[in-house]
Amino acid sequence: MIQKDIIINGSTKIYGLIGNPVSHTLSPTIHNTTAKIFGHNIAYIPLHVENDNLQKAIEGAYALNIQGLNVTVPYKTQVMKYLYALDKTAETVGAVNTLKYTDNGYVGYNTDYTGLKRVFGIRNISFNNKTVVILGAGGAAYAVAAMAADFSPNKIIIVNRTLENSLKLISHMKRFYDVKIEAMDYNELDSIDEKQIVIQTTSIGLKSDDENSPIKKDSFFKNVDVALDIIYKKGKTRFLQQAEKAECTCIDGFDMLVYQGLDAYEIWQQIKIDSDIAQKILESVKI
Ligand code: NDP
C-alpha cells in the first residue's frame, strides 16, 4: 500500500545527495517516491556542498547520523579519500556515487555502473562481436567503461577531446580488466567499420538549449546498432536525434538515472526491488 505523504518524526532516517550544483536533481523524487511505496520512514534531501568543504561535509554528515548519501559532480573521485572502505564496484570503476553509513565510517559504492548495467541487461542488448565507442573520458566514462568491459565486447574505444584523460581512463581499466581498449580522436571516427554500441558521456547537450553533438558527421552512425546518451533532459539531445535518423536503437540517460537511484536504495535498505515495482517508479518519476 502506498503512503499518502512522508511524515517526518523523531525516527525518520535522513539520506541525501551531495554535489555542486544539486538544484536540478531528480534524485529526491526517485528516493522519496520509492520510500512512499515501501512505507519506509526516510527523507532524502539535496545538500549543496561548496568546493572546499567536502571533507567537512562528509564528517558532518556522519556525525549527524545521515544513513546514506549519493555523490554527484564534481565529487565522485575526491570523496574516496574520506571513506572507511570501498565496495568492489567503486574500486574497479575508480569512482563513488553512493555512501552507506557503517559503525566505522561510510563505505563507498558505484551504482552508476550497476544502474547502467541494468539498462543494457533489461533490453537484452548483445555486445558480442561489437565495438563499444565511449565519447568522453570524465567521471561518468569510468562507470561506463567498466560496465562495457563486463559484457566482453570485441573492443572498447575511448574518444575524448583531451587525449591525456583518455589515456588515464585506459590505464585505470587495464589494472582491472583484460579487455582490448584504445584511444581515438574524433577525426578518426569514420575509420571504424565494425558494428558499434556508442555511449555518449560528455556534457555536450546537457543544457536545455544546447543543440550541439560531439558527432559532427551523421555518416558516423552507419555502423551503429545502439546509441545511448547518458544525459537526461526533457526532449532528445542532438546526438540521439542523429542516431534516431540513422535508425539506431536509441536510449537516453533517464533509465540509468533511475536505476542508479534504485540500486543505492537497495544497498541502503538491504532490500531487492522487483522489476514491476522498478518499472512503476520509473513511470511515476518520468520527466
Ligand atoms: P565530467 O566533467 O567529469 O566529464 C565531462 C566530459 O565531457 C569530459 O570527457 C570532457 O572532455 C567532455 N567535454 C565537455 N565539454 C566538451 C566539449 N565542448 N567538447 C568535447 N568534449 C567535452 O562529467 P561526468 O563524466 O561526471 O558527467 C558527464 C555527463 O554525464 C553529465 O552531463 C552528467 O549529467 C551525465 N551523467 C548522467 C548520469 C545518469 O545517471 N544518467 C550519471 C552520471 C553522469 P575533456 O576531458 O576534454 O575535458
- Could you give the CA distance from residue 204 to residue 95 in angstroms, rounded to a whole number? 21
CB 231, CB 152: distance < 8 Å: no
**Ligand 1 center–CA 67 separation, angstroms:** 28
Interstrand relation of 181-184 and 155-159 (parallel, antiparallel or unpaired): parallel
C-alpha cell at 135: 565519447
pLDDT score for 5? 66
Average pLDDT over residues 31-37: 96
Name which residue sits closest to atom 6 of ligand 1, judged by CA.
202
Indicate if ligand 1 lies below 6 Å from the C-beta of 207: no
Distance (Å) from CA 202 to ligand 1 centroid: 3
For the segment 234-272, what is each residue's pLDDT rounded down to a tens digit? 899 999 999 999 999 999 999 999 999 999 999 999 999
76 is catalytic: yes
What pLDDT is recorded for position 228?
98
Q: Which atom of ligand 1 is nearest to the CA of 203?
A: 32
CA of residue 230 to ligand 1 center, whole Å: 9
Q: Ligand 1: does its nearest atom lie under 6 Å from the Cβ of 165?
A: yes
The span from the CA of 12 to the CA of 109, in Å, is 23
User: pTM higher than 0.75, yes or no?
Assistant: yes
**Strand order across the 249-251 sheet:** 181-184, 155-159, 131-135, 196-200, 224-229, 249-251
pLDDT at 62 (0 to 100):
98
Specify whether the CB–CB gap between 66 and 83 falls below 8 A: no
Q: Would the CB of 139 count as within 6 Å of ligand 1?
A: yes
Q: Which ranges of the chain would DSSP assign to H, the alpha helix?
A: 27-38, 54-63, 88-93, 111-122, 139-150, 163-176, 238-245, 254-269, 275-284
Over residues 50-73, the pLDDT tens digits come to: 999 999 999 999 999 999 999 999
Distance, CA 60 to ligand 1 centroid (Å)?
A: 29
**Is residue 197 over pLDDT 60?**
yes
Q: Is 232 in the pocket of ligand 1 (CB under 6 A)?
A: yes
Q: Which of 80, 113, 72, 115 is nearest to 206 (CA)?
A: 72
Q: Whose CA is nearest to atom 48 of ligand 1?
A: 162
Q: Check residue 1 and give its pLDDT.
A: 46
pLDDT (tens digit per residue) in 181-191? 999 999 999 99
Instruction: Please give the Cα distance from 123 to 251 (Å, whole number).
Output: 10
Q: Half-sphere exposure (CA, 13 Å, Cβ side) for 44?
A: 24
Q: Of 4, 13, 36, 76, which one is the catalytic site residue? A: 76
Q: Please work out whether the CB of residue 256 comes within 6 Å of at least one atom of ligand 1.
A: yes
Sheet holding 98-102, edge to edge: 42-48, 13-19, 68-71, 98-102, 105-109, 85-86
The finding on whether 257 has its CB within 6 A of some atom of ligand 1 is: yes
